[in-house]
Chain A
C-alpha cells in the first residue's frame, strides 16, 4: 500500500510544481529565457551600455565584470601548429586611402592582420608597437595590414597620422572582414591580431593589445618554420 500513496503524492507534487511555476513567472523566466527577461527590461529604457572596445565592452567602465562577455584587455596569445591551421578566408576591400587590397596577393609572406578602431583605447596603446614592428620587418617577408572596424575614415586617418602607421588598413565600418573569418579563427574583440602564414593559413591569434616582445616572438617563431 505504500506505492499508491507515494504516487498520489508524486502527482500532487507535480501539480504543485506546475502551479508554483505559474505563480512565479520570474522563476520560469529565469529558467527558460534569461534573454527574454533581459529584453523585457531593456525594452522600456534606452540602452545606455554600448560600444567602447570589443564586444561585451560595457563591463569595462563598471566596477564588476559579468565574466561572461568578451572583455578586451583579457589578453590571450595562441599559436597554431603547422598541421592544425585553418585556411584564411578570401579577404579583399578598399583601404583607408582608397586603394584596393587583396589578402591573397600577399601569399608567400607572413601577414599580420590587426583589427582595430581609433576609438579603442587598447588599440591606441598597442599602435606604437605595431608601427615599430612593421618597420623592423621591412626587409623580411612580413606584411602588416590593419582592418579598421566600426570607425569613420576621418578619425582613422587621424589615428594613423598620430601613430605614424606605415602600413595600409582596410576600411571596414560594417565589420565585413571580421565576418569573413566566421568559422575559422575569428577576431573576438577589438583589438585582435591574426598571423597568416605564407600558405594562407592562420598560424596565430592575439586577442587584446599586443606587446612589442610578444608579437616579435610569435612572428619569429612562424618565420623560422621554413628552415
Chain B
C-alpha cells in the first residue's frame, strides 16, 4: 500500500497521508497485493544503497549501473543545466563566427596573442563546440534516462485497479460509519452502484468495496513526462534536420534556395545540399519610409519588400509583402527580412574601351542615421591591369566642414565617393576572398580625386586605364532563411507539458473504501431492533494522496452521506423500514 501510494506524489502533507496509510496498510487484509509488482523505485533504491556500502567489490556492470544512476539523477540534470547556461556565456561575451565574422576578425586584430588561444577552445563558435555538444548530449541522456522509466511506471500505475479495502477503515484519515437493516451484500451493492455512478473505478470483494477516482492525475503526470521527452526530441529534430542561411538580394534579382544561392549556409548535422526546399524568391521592390522631422528624424518607420516566390507544391508564382515580423513561410521554411541597404550601379570600361563590369554592387551600411554605406568594386577582367575601387555611398550627401556625410537615410541626394586602385586583386590565385573587402597590398592607388559622383557621372582613370561610371542605384534586402522542423513539435510539447502539469496539480487521486459487517452488539434500543432484524454496520473511509487543490474532506463528507442515503433508499425499496439506524461523523469530530 505504501509503495502504491508513494512515488508519484507532490503535494504538501503527503508524508502525513502516507504515514497514515502505512498504519492502515500494515493491518490491511489486502496489503500484500501491492507489495509485489509495483515498487519499482523501492526496488531500485536497494541496489543503489548497496552500491555505496560495497563499492569495493563492484563489477563492471555494477559500476555502469552506478554511473547510469548518477547520470540520470535530477541533481546531475540540474548541474548540467547550470553548466549549459555557464557555457553559453562566452557565446554572448565574445564575437561568434556564425553570427558576426567581421567582429571576430576585429577581435583577432585587437588581441593577436589571445585570439588563437581562444579559437583553439572554440570560443568563437561556442554553440558548435565539442564541449558544448558534450554538455547538451549529457543533459539529453540524463533527462531521457530519468523521464522514460518514470513514464513507464506512471503508465502502469494509471492502469492499476484500486487496491483491496484495508481491514480497519476507522484508522484512515477520513472515516464514517452507520448501521442499516440491509444485509451486508445488498448494502455494498448499493454503495458500489453509487460510486460507479460517481465515475469511480470500483473493485468489490468479500465484504468490501474499494473505489478509486482521479486517474487524470496520473494521466497528467504521464503527459508531462512524455511531453518533456517530446520537447527533447523536437530540439534534436531541429538540430539535425534544420538549417539556416542568409542571402542578400538586390531589387530585380532572384535567388534559389540552394547552398549555391545562399551567401551563408549553416546546415543541421543531417542536412545535405539536396534536402533544401527548392523555392526561388525574386525581389521586385523594396520600400522604406523614415521619420522626416523631430528627434526621431531618420528613424525607419516602415519597411516592405515586395517579392515574388514559387512554391514546390503548386509550382506557381505568388506575390508577397515581406515586412519586419511578417515573414514568408514557403514549403515550411521561414524567410525573414532582416536588413536593407543600397546597391549603387556601376559600369567600368578598361583600356580597350570594352565594358568589363556592369552591375549593382551592394554597399553595407556603416551607420544608421544617414545610412552611409561602404563597398568595393572589383574588375578582375580589366586590361591591362585589374581595377579596384573602394568607397562610400551617401544617400543624402552633405558636406560637414570638408568631410562627406549623409544627412538622411532616404536617397534624396545620392552620391558615391570612390578611391581608385590598379594592380593585382589577388583573385586569380584561387584564394577565396570576401566581395566586401579589397586587398590593396598588390595594388597601386591611382591619382584620381575621390570627389562625389552624381548618377551619370564618371571617373576617368589616368594612363588610359579605363573609366568608371556611376549609373544609378538599387536597393537590397537581407533575408534570413530558417528551417526548423522541431519548432511546431516543440511548441506542442511545451503546451502538453503545461497541460499535464496543471492536470496533475488540480486533479487528486482519491479512494473510497466501504466495508459492511453484521452488527456485533447493540448499544441502544434502535440498534437492538436493527440487530434483531439482521442489521449491518457499514464503514466508509476515504484516502487521498495529494490534496494540493484541497477539499477532499468536504467531498468525503458528501459522498459518505450519499452512500448512507443510497443504502437507506435501497433498504426502503426492499421493504425494510428504518434502513439507517445511526451514523457516526468523520473521525476526529
Bound Cα distance from A215 to B248, whole angstroms: 33
B553: interface (CB < 8 Å): no
Are B264 and A3 in contact, CB atoms less than 8 angstroms apart? no
Chain B binder among A12-20, A98-106, A193-201: A12-20
Are A56 and B264 in contact, CB atoms less than 8 angstroms apart? yes
Known: A162-B381, A186-B259. A68 touches B432 (CB 8 A): no
Are A55 and B427 in contact, CB atoms less than 8 angstroms apart? no
Known: A51-B435, A124-B380. A17 touches B88 (CB 8 A): no
Query: Chain A residues near B97 (CB, 8 Å)?
Result: 59, 62, 64-66
Are B274 and A185 in contact, CB atoms less than 8 angstroms apart? yes
* Shortest Cβ gap from A146 to chain B (Å): 14
Are A174 and B282 in contact, CB atoms less than 8 angstroms apart? yes
A10: interface (CB < 8 Å): yes
Interface residues of B in 220-244 (CB under 8 A from A): 235, 238-239, 242, 244
Query: Chain A residues near B347 (CB, 8 Å)?
Result: 154
Question: Which among A26, A62, A152 has the highest number of chain B CB atoms within 10 Å?
Answer: A62
Q: Which residue of B has the minimal Cβ distance to A122?
A: B430
Known: A6-B45, A56-B265, A63-B104. A50 touches B436 (CB 8 A): yes
B469: interface (CB < 8 Å): no
Query: Chain B residues near A27 (CB, 8 Å)?
Result: 81, 84-85, 88
Query: Chain B residues near A53 (CB, 8 Å)?
Result: 432
A224: interface (CB < 8 Å): no
Are A152 and B274 in contact, CB atoms less than 8 angstroms apart? no
Known: A7-B7, A64-B124, A188-B273. A178 touches B262 (CB 8 A): no
Chain A binder among B10-18, B185-193, B205-213: B10-18
A45: interface (CB < 8 Å): yes
Bound Cα distance from A47 to B242, whole angstroms: 21
Are B359 and A155 in contact, CB atoms less than 8 angstroms apart? yes
Query: Chain A residues near B136 (CB, 8 Å)?
Result: 30-31
B105: interface (CB < 8 Å): yes
Bound Cα distance from A13 to B435, whole angstroms: 52
Interface residues of B in 387-416 (CB under 8 A from A): none
B2: interface (CB < 8 Å): yes
B67: interface (CB < 8 Å): no
Interface residues of A in 21-60 (CB under 8 A from B): 21, 24, 26-27, 30-36, 38-39, 41-43, 45-60
Bound Cα distance from A121 to B264, whole angstroms: 17
A9: interface (CB < 8 Å): yes
Are A55 and B264 in contact, CB atoms less than 8 angstroms apart? yes
Query: Chain B residues near A186 (CB, 8 Å)?
Result: 258-260, 273-274
Bound Cα distance from A1 to B18, whole angstroms: 9
Are B258 and A1 in contact, CB atoms less than 8 angstroms apart? no
Bound Cα distance from A103 to B260, whole angstroms: 20
Interface residues of B in 308-351 (CB under 8 A from A): 324, 336, 338-341, 347
Interface residues of A in 131-158 (CB under 8 A from B): 149-150, 152-155, 158
Query: Chain B residues near A57 (CB, 8 Å)?
Result: 263-264, 432, 434
Query: Chain B residues near A39 (CB, 8 Å)?
Result: 244, 336, 338, 480, 482
B461: interface (CB < 8 Å): no
Chain A binder among B58-66, B249-257, B507-515, B523-531: B249-257
Bound Cα distance from A119 to B432, whole angstroms: 10
Interface size grouping (class) on chain B: 35 or more
Are A122 and B339 in contact, CB atoms less than 8 angstroms apart? no
Are A192 and B381 in contact, CB atoms less than 8 angstroms apart? no
B101: interface (CB < 8 Å): yes
Bound Cα distance from A31 to B356, whole angstroms: 49
Are B81 and A17 in contact, CB atoms less than 8 angstroms apart? yes
Q: Which residue of B has the minimal Cβ distance to A190?
A: B260
Residue A187 contacts which of B127, B260, B341 (CB distance < 8 angstroms)? B260
Bound Cα distance from A155 to B78, whole angstroms: 58
Bound Cα distance from A126 to B305, whole angstroms: 37
Residue A69 contacts which of B6, B242, B264, B336 (CB distance < 8 angstroms)? B264
A97: interface (CB < 8 Å): no
Bound Cα distance from A150 to B84, whole angstroms: 40
Query: Chain B residues near A55 (CB, 8 Å)?
Result: 245, 258-265
Known: A13-B78, A178-B258. A64 touches B102 (CB 8 A): no
B276: interface (CB < 8 Å): yes
Are A125 and B480 in contact, CB atoms less than 8 angstroms apart? no
* Shortest Cβ gap from A128 to chain B (Å): 9
A110: interface (CB < 8 Å): no
A73: interface (CB < 8 Å): yes
Question: Which among B22, B78, B339, B437 has the highest number of chain A CB atoms within 10 Å?
Answer: B339
Residue A178 contacts which of B2, B3, B85, B261 (CB distance < 8 angstroms)? B261
Are B41 and A48 in contact, CB atoms less than 8 angstroms apart? no
Are B341 and A46 in contact, CB atoms less than 8 angstroms apart? yes
Query: Chain B residues near A121 (CB, 8 Å)?
Result: 426-433
* Shortest Cβ gap from B346 to chain A (Å): 10
* Shortest Cβ gap from A184 to chain B (Å): 7
Query: Chain A residues near B115 (CB, 8 Å)?
Result: 63
Query: Chain A residues near B239 (CB, 8 Å)?
Result: 34
Are B434 and A58 in contact, CB atoms less than 8 angstroms apart? yes
* Shortest Cβ gap from A92 to chain B (Å): 16
Residue B125 contacts which of A7, A30, A54, A67 (CB distance < 8 angstroms)? A67
Known: A51-B248, A186-B259. A72 touches B428 (CB 8 A): no
B99: interface (CB < 8 Å): yes
Query: Chain A residues near B128 (CB, 8 Å)?
Result: 66-68
Query: Chain A residues near B84 (CB, 8 Å)?
Result: 27, 30-31
Question: Which among A1, A14, A64, A125 has the highest number of chain B CB atoms within 10 Å?
Answer: A64
B533: interface (CB < 8 Å): no
Interface residues of B in 57-97 (CB under 8 A from A): 74-75, 77-78, 81-82, 84-85, 88, 91-92, 97
Bound Cα distance from A9 to B73, whole angstroms: 10
Are B339 and A161 in contact, CB atoms less than 8 angstroms apart? no
A79: interface (CB < 8 Å): no
Are B432 and A72 in contact, CB atoms less than 8 angstroms apart? yes
B468: interface (CB < 8 Å): no
Q: Which residue of B has the minimal Cβ distance to A158?
A: B381
Known: A13-B74, A190-B260. A7 touches B9 (CB 8 A): yes
Query: Chain B residues near A190 (CB, 8 Å)?
Result: 260
Q: Which residue of B has the minimal Cβ distance to A155?
A: B357
Are A119 and B435 in contact, CB atoms less than 8 angstroms apart? yes
* Shortest Cβ gap from A164 to chain B (Å): 12
* Shortest Cβ gap from B491 to chain A (Å): 10
Bound Cα distance from A175 to B239, whole angstroms: 27
Q: Could you list some 23 contacts between A and B, CB below 8 A?
A: A4-B15, A6-B41, A7-B6, A10-B150, A17-B78, A32-B235, A35-B480, A35-B484, A41-B99, A42-B338, A50-B246, A51-B248, A55-B263, A56-B265, A58-B264, A61-B433, A118-B381, A121-B431, A150-B255, A154-B357, A158-B379, A178-B256, A188-B273
Given contacts A58-B434, A119-B380, A176-B256, 15 further A-B contacts (CB under 8 A): A7-B10, A26-B92, A30-B84, A46-B478, A47-B246, A49-B102, A49-B434, A119-B427, A121-B433, A154-B347, A155-B381, A174-B254, A176-B280, A187-B259, A187-B260
Give 4 closest A-B pairs by Cβ, nearest first: A125-B430, A174-B254, A158-B381, A13-B74
Which residues of A line the B interface, CB within 8 A?
A: 1-4, 6-11, 13-14, 16-17, 20-21, 24, 26-27, 30-36, 38-39, 41-43, 45-73, 115, 118-122, 124-126, 149-150, 152-155, 158-159, 161-162, 173-176, 178-179, 181-190, 192, 209
